[in-house]
Amino acid sequence: MLSADSSDFAPVPPLGNGAPTIDLNLDRTLKQTFGHDAFRPGQREIIERSLQGGDILAIVPTGGGKSLCYQLPAIVRSGVTIVVSPLIALMQDQVQSLQANGIHATFLNSTLDSQESFKRIQALLRGEIRLLYVAPERLLSDGFLELLDRVRDEVGIGGFAIDEAHCVSAWGHDFRPEYRQLRLIRQRYPQVPVTALTATATDRVRLDIVDQLALRSPFVHIASFRRPNLYYEVRPKEKRATYREILTRIRQGGSGIIYCMSRRQVEELTAKLTADNVTALPYHAGLPGSVRADNQTRFIRDDVQIMVATVAFGMGIDKPDVRFVIHYDLPRNIESYYQESGRAGRDGEDSDCVLYYSAGDVGKVEWLIQQKTSEDEQRIARQQLRQISDYAESTECRNTIQLRYFGEHFEGNCGKCDNCCNPKPIEDWTIEAMKFLSCVARTKERFGTNHLISVLRGSKSQNILKWGHDQLSTYGIGKDRTADDWKMLVRSLLHQGLISETTDGFPILKLNALSWEVMKQQRSVEIAIAPKPKLDEIDDRTGSTMTGQALFQELRALRKKLATARSVPPYVIFADSTLRLMAQKKTTTLDDLGRIAGVGAFKLDEYGEAFVAAIRAYSEGNAADLSSTHLTTLELLKQGWDLERIARDRGLQVTTIYGHVAKLIETGQIVEVDRYIDAETRSRVDAAIAQVGMDRLTPIFEALNGTVSYGEIRLVCAMRSVSGSAAADLTGQSS
């Protein structure tokens, strides 16, 4: 299998052999032009090799930062870099993002009229373009190749970048025959280095890319497929509770995608959300193409918060700031789940992936599988269904399971999934299992889950009476458990192989050898207890997050205004993470703003003033809320007094002074807290807040057994409320 280390794959081309040594400060270019502070793993090496003239194959998951690997070389070396990209929408996005950084990029495709094309071609031939994006079919047309010959002769071709390179492979999921002919460019321009990029990881596809594109001893970089900024969670699906949970998540803010299985489900959920004042749009294959395109644009531009969609939505969306992806229904298999949920957090910011799971959904998919005519297809679909439901039922680290699917070993304990962060309690349910299994035996192994549960719970329904099942010794012996409890047990028994299920027609439960061991008390049964739906969190949580991020929200609003004026998506102006840093650091000078990650020279010039002005206005507006007693404390703090001394001198309680400091933090007058609370205490408070929330102080105080004062707790809460839970970053410690 593949390892993330590429050394076993291909001989690395000799470095600097004949190629001019380029002495460049790549870090400086990275910050100046792209605004980033550091390279991500692999990026620097790829860029260096590429600048030395070598071919590259970069296999990096979505959001890993592939584009930079060819964009940075493109702006530092001579000649034009030609980027082959399969989708017009993606091309446009990329070009807009580059232009927003002041980089001369353009595209040629069928959406342009001849006059516009002509203009762009002239600019190209004058050497004014660094990156040119084209679709493969255009690149290979006669006229275009002739144009490229002229470009080579007059301004030079610096490199080719083949994006979504897995499209060359019939083994991949998006085979495009026109990609096959890209080999032509290697023949026609043998000296020009080629960089191929993809997010698809299988061995077969990888070998196919090297072969089909005739790459020469490429440097192969395979990044880990782990997405450390995504939090993975599986939750029980129960109609009403699930809807309320989703609503809660939506109200916490951020763009989200909700995937549903059917068009009807998409329409229903969209209508329901709209009625609850959520801005949401539908997307599915039943809508006319123009409506789909329009809805997609409105989502990307943040005109609406939520996209409710079938799997038709995704290929070709490049929105980096999707904060959550919810699967309202079961995905088809683990790979699709990885790709669909992976549309969250491409910008590297923390984002959530929630899968709602119910046994009923498994039944529905099984029924759909039975409708397939080919036996082969049925077999594959069944295996995939088994894998995805195993994933949902498992108590193992979600990342470990997903990565195993891609042949990557991951130890687990990721700290970013429900199973690692909130392991489900394991309970001994041997007695319940015995009750259930003997009910299966007494009903002669001829019924499905729901009927059996009705018997156990003593239902008086027609169906039970008809079969005389109210006469059985197991009738009514399971009243102490809810129907959901019993369903959870059945899922677990199936998952552990302690009972079997027929797969033709309606699923009927059958006893197997292990079932008998349980009934004979030769084997005990332990099950993981699923979490209950969160019923009453809606109103409490939303309030505090909304107010806490007031400045961040204002900066977002400013960004939206600037974006609309330029008709670009907001993320093209600044990423969420950049706005959050601005809100935390309250940068009120251009110099300080320029040091923030994500602010390059061009953007500083273009937008700096507007953002600095907004932050100033905000800070001043808030300072007006402070009374003179706060300002006196602030003055004394500035003179270096500690809190005890201020309290003593002013004849006030220390707690009161802590309250002042908290208020000063909330209004942005104080941004550093190292002076007032040590890192260890602070992280203990953070941990307690993670457990009990921060709506009230007393539960936090109690969770810490009274070892931390109310004053200090208030400080931590104030810090968190100004900057969300990321507040700890301010002082450089991670919480």
Minimum CB distance to ligand ADP, residue 99 (Å) = 14
Applying CB under 5 A, among 134, 197, 300, 414 the residue interacting with Zn ion is 414
Task: Pick between residue 57 and residue 417 the one whose CB is nearest to Zn ion.
Answer: 417
Minimum CB distance to Zn ion, residue 450 (Å) = 33
Picked from ligand ADP, Zn ion, none, the partner binding residue 180 (CB below 5 to 8 A depending on kind) is none
With residue 428 as reference, give the H or E element that holds it: strand 426-428
Picked from Zn ion, ligand ADP, none, the partner binding residue 62 (CB below 5 to 8 A depending on kind) is ligand ADP
Task: Pick between residue 164 and residue 418 the one whose CB is nearest to Zn ion.
Answer: 418
CB 86 within 8 A of CB 136: yes
Task: Pick between residue 43 and residue 333 the one whose CB is nearest to ligand ADP.
Answer: 43
Minimum CB distance to Zn ion, residue 397 (Å) = 3
Applying CB under 5 A, among 258, 307, 417, 727 the residue interacting with Zn ion is 417
Cα–Cα dist 470/462, whole Å = 10
Residue for token pair 């968190």: 720
Minimum CB distance to ligand ADP, residue 37 (Å) = 7
Picked from Zn ion, ligand ADP, none, the partner binding residue 77 (CB below 5 to 8 A depending on kind) is none
**Which of 37-45, 392-400, 633-641, 645-653 is the region at the interface with Zn ion (rule: CB under 5 A)?**
392-400
Task: Pick between residue 79 and residue 412 the one whose CB is nearest to Zn ion.
Answer: 412
Task: Pick between residue 67 and residue 296 the one whose CB is nearest to ligand ADP.
Answer: 67
Cα–Cα dist 299/293, whole Å = 10
CB 531 within 8 A of CB 422: yes
The tokens describing 257, both together, are 């995608």
Distant-in-sequence, close-in-space partners of 127: CB < 8 Å, separation ≥ 6: 80, 154, 155
**Alpha-carbon separation of residue 202 from 124, 166, 175, 195, 207 (angstroms):** 37, 10, 14, 18, 9
Picked from Zn ion, ligand ADP, none, the partner binding residue 414 (CB below 5 to 8 A depending on kind) is Zn ion
CB 540 within 8 A of CB 695: yes
Applying CB under 5 A, among 51, 80, 83, 397 the residue interacting with Zn ion is 397
Picked from Zn ion, ligand ADP, none, the partner binding residue 397 (CB below 5 to 8 A depending on kind) is Zn ion
With residue 465 as reference, give the H or E element that holds it: helix 462-466
Picked from Zn ion, ligand ADP, none, the partner binding residue 420 (CB below 5 to 8 A depending on kind) is Zn ion
The number of beta carbons lying within 10 Å of the beta carbon of residue 496 is: 15
Task: Pick between residue 177 and residue 316 the one whose CB is nearest to ligand ADP.
Answer: 316
Picked from Zn ion, ligand ADP, none, the partner binding residue 221 (CB below 5 to 8 A depending on kind) is none
Minimum CB distance to ligand ADP, residue 236 (Å) = 32
Minimum CB distance to ligand ADP, residue 62 (Å) = 4
Task: Pick between residue 36 and residue 559 the one whose CB is nearest to ligand ADP.
Answer: 36
Classified as helix, coil or strand, 480 is: coil
Minimum CB distance to ligand ADP, residue 300 (Å) = 13
Cα–Cα dist 451/301, whole Å = 50
Q: Which DSSP string do the residues of 187-198 spell out, in sequence order?
A: HH-TTS-EEEEE
Give me Rg for the CA atoms of the chain: 30
**For Zn ion, how many residues bind (rule: CB under 5 A)?**
5
CB-based closest residue to ligand ADP: 65
Looking at 277-374, list the stretches that DSSP marks H as alpha helix, in order from N- to C-terminal side: 289-300, 334-341, 359-370
Applying CB under 5 A, among 22, 247, 420, 692 the residue interacting with Zn ion is 420
The tokens describing 403, both together, are 């990565």
Task: Pick between residue 286 and residue 348 the one whose CB is nearest to ligand ADP.
Answer: 348
Task: Pick between residue 169 and residue 399 the one whose CB is nearest to Zn ion.
Answer: 399
Picked from ligand ADP, Zn ion, none, the partner binding residue 237 (CB below 5 to 8 A depending on kind) is none
Q: How many CA atoms lie within 13 A of 519 on its CB side?
A: 16
Distant-in-sequence, close-in-space partners of 645: CB < 8 Å, separation ≥ 6: 636
Picked from Zn ion, ligand ADP, none, the partner binding residue 348 (CB below 5 to 8 A depending on kind) is ligand ADP
Minimum CB distance to Zn ion, residue 404 (Å) = 12
Residue for token pair 């530092």: 76
**Which of 141-149, 187-195, 398-406, 472-480 is the region at the interface with Zn ion (rule: CB under 5 A)?**
398-406
Classified as helix, coil or strand, 401 is: helix
Cα–Cα dist 723/585, whole Å = 9
Task: Pick between residue 90 and residue 273 the one whose CB is nearest to ligand ADP.
Answer: 90
Task: Pick between residue 40 and residue 216 the one whose CB is nearest to ligand ADP.
Answer: 40
The number of beta carbons lying within 10 Å of the beta carbon of residue 625 is: 10
Task: Pick between residue 406 and residue 701 the one whose CB is nearest to Zn ion.
Answer: 406
Cα–Cα dist 531/245, whole Å = 13
**Which of 104-112, 393-401, 486-494, 712-720 is the region at the interface with Zn ion (rule: CB under 5 A)?**
393-401
The number of beta carbons lying within 10 Å of the beta carbon of residue 371 is: 7
Minimum CB distance to ligand ADP, residue 600 (Å) = 11
Minimum CB distance to ligand ADP, residue 38 (Å) = 6
Cα–Cα dist 95/106, whole Å = 6
- Candidates 493, 484, 495, 550; CA nearest to 523 is 493
The number of beta carbons lying within 10 Å of the beta carbon of residue 53 is: 19
Minimum CB distance to ligand ADP, residue 714 (Å) = 34
Binning the chain into helix, strand and coil, the percentages to the nearest 5 are 50, 10, 40
Task: Pick between residue 422 and residue 482 the one whose CB is nearest to Zn ion.
Answer: 422
Picked from Zn ion, ligand ADP, none, the partner binding residue 417 (CB below 5 to 8 A depending on kind) is Zn ion
Minimum CB distance to ligand ADP, residue 527 (Å) = 39
Picked from ligand ADP, Zn ion, none, the partner binding residue 53 (CB below 5 to 8 A depending on kind) is none
Minimum CB distance to ligand ADP, residue 322 (Å) = 12
Minimum CB distance to ligand ADP, residue 70 (Å) = 10
Minimum CB distance to Zn ion, residue 40 (Å) = 22
Ramachandran area for residue 693 (φ above 0: left; ψ -120 to 50: alpha; else beta): left
Cα–Cα dist 162/164, whole Å = 7
Minimum CB distance to ligand ADP, residue 64 (Å) = 4
> Which residues would be at the binding site for ligand ADP (CB under 6 A)?
36, 39-40, 43, 60, 62-68, 320, 346-348, 575
Picked from Zn ion, ligand ADP, none, the partner binding residue 60 (CB below 5 to 8 A depending on kind) is ligand ADP
Burial call 675-694: b when 16+ CB within 10 Å, e when fewer: ebbeeebbebbbebbeeeeb
**Which of 29-37, 254-262, 409-417, 543-551 is the region at the interface with Zn ion (rule: CB under 5 A)?**
409-417
**Alpha-carbon separation of residue 439 from 433, 444, 456, 469, 477 (angstroms):** 10, 9, 7, 10, 10
Q: Which of residues 99-118 bind Zn ion (CB under 5 A)?
A: none
Task: Pick between residue 97 and residue 721 the one whose CB is nearest to ligand ADP.
Answer: 97
689 binds Zn ion (CB under 5 A): no
Task: Pick between residue 227 and residue 343 the one whose CB is nearest to Zn ion.
Answer: 227
Cα–Cα dist 335/406, whole Å = 8
Task: Pick between residue 88 and residue 420 the one whose CB is nearest to Zn ion.
Answer: 420
**Alpha-carbon separation of residue 358 from 308, 329, 421, 491 (angstroms):** 20, 9, 22, 9
Task: Pick between residue 260 and residue 555 the one whose CB is nearest to ligand ADP.
Answer: 555
Minimum CB distance to ligand ADP, residue 687 (Å) = 28
Cα–Cα dist 328/325, whole Å = 9
Cα–Cα dist 474/478, whole Å = 8
Rounded to the nearest 10 degrees, what angle do helices 430-442 and 483-495 cross at?
A: 90
Q: Under the rule (CB under 5 A), what is the footprint of Zn ion?
A: 397, 399, 414, 417, 420
